Amino acid sequence: MIDYNEAVMIAMRSIISIIALFIVTKMLGKKQISQLTVYDYIVGITIGSIAADIILSLEDHFINGVIAILIFGFVGFILSYLSIKSEEANELLNGRAVVLMENGNFIIDNLRKTKIPIYKFIEQARLKGYYDLDVLNYAILETNGEISFLPKEEYQTSTPIDFKMELKKGTKQTFCDELVMEGKVKREKLEELDIKEKWLKDELKKKKISSYDDLVLVTIDQKDKLKIFEDND
């Protein structure tokens, strides 16, 4: 049988909790999921957990839960304010941007420190429209976890006032396949593309490379041009 008093109590607590959450959300400001910092994420999860708990825990002191929500929201607001006002606080709370590629070369130490495998880097580049890593000059891991890319000058889009944004003449991107990744040759890909491993080794020898071990990535484009990224550390 339905306990109407309990149902009314849950409804009232839900409404008050929603109002408290709305106030906290307005304090913290609008952010997309990808823009959430670590402490935003922690505060959000904690507040959500508290809200669920105070709605259903009828025997506990309801007002204590509401106070807890407001305190967590206020702490989140203060931390956001400090990160805006102080560069040191922002770096402590959000970390700093990390350069993953510089002058077209991978910075292996930074890839390892940020725990970003090459295949994930390639995936992020494709999502941003870069199917050929040879066009990239810089790649930076931003504090929100996104990777931003800067193409080489000849591949950058022009921005004339009149309208069109197009690649400069003679700088067309082509799709690339990965033949070697993190020191390991992708033999399935070689078979798929009907490429003999001997041919690949011969091409690498021309570049005075005798082993896959120091290779971060080797790609081949639709014109059979190899692009080699070595571990320069």
Report residue 85's pLDDT band, with 50, 70 and 90 as the boundaries.
confident
pLDDT at residue 41 tops 90: no
Is the domain of 136 the same as that of 52?
A: no
* Residues 83 and 123 occupy one common structural domain: no
Instruction: Assess whether 109 and 217 both reside in one domain.
Output: yes
Answer yes or no: do 193 and 114 share one domain: yes
Residues 163 and 53 in one domain: no
Joined together, the tokens standing for residue 166 give 């197009």
My answer on whether 187 and 83 are in the same domain is no
Let me know whether 107 and 221 are in one domain.
Answer: yes
The one-letter amino acid code at 42 reads I
Confidence of residue 87 (pLDDT cuts 50, 70, 90): low
Tally the domains of the chain.
Answer: 2
**Alpha helices for the chain (secondary structure H):** 4-28, 38-56, 62-85, 87-94, 108-113, 118-127, 187-192, 197-206
pLDDT confidence tier of residue 29, bands split at 50, 70 and 90: low
| Greatest pairwise CA separation for the chain in angstroms | 83
The residue-averaged pLDDT of 106-115 equals 89
- Domain boundary (40, 67, 93) is at 93
Give the domain-ending residue among 93, 114, 129. 93
**222 and 148 in a common domain:** yes
The residue from 26, 61, 93 where one domain ends is 93
The answer to whether residues 157 and 60 belong to one domain is: no
Residue 151 shares a structural domain with residue 38: no
Give me the CATH number covering residue 117: 3.30.240.20
**pLDDT mean over 2-30:** 63
72 vs 176 pLDDT, higher one = 176
pTM flag (> 0.75) = no
Structural domain boundaries, residue 148: 98-230
Predicted confidence (pLDDT) per residue in 150-180, tens digit: 898 877 765 554 444 444 444 555 678 889 9
Q: Are residues 207 and 225 in the same domain?
A: yes
User: How far apart, in whole angstroms, are the C-alpha atoms of residue 124 and residue 232?
Assistant: 22
By the 10 Å C-beta count (0-12 exposed, 13-18 middle, 19+ buried), 220 is classed as buried
| pLDDT digits 0-9 by tens, 190-219 | 998 899 999 999 999 998 888 888 898 999
pLDDT per residue as tens digits for the range 176-192? 888 998 888 999 889 98
- Are 60 and 102 within one domain? no
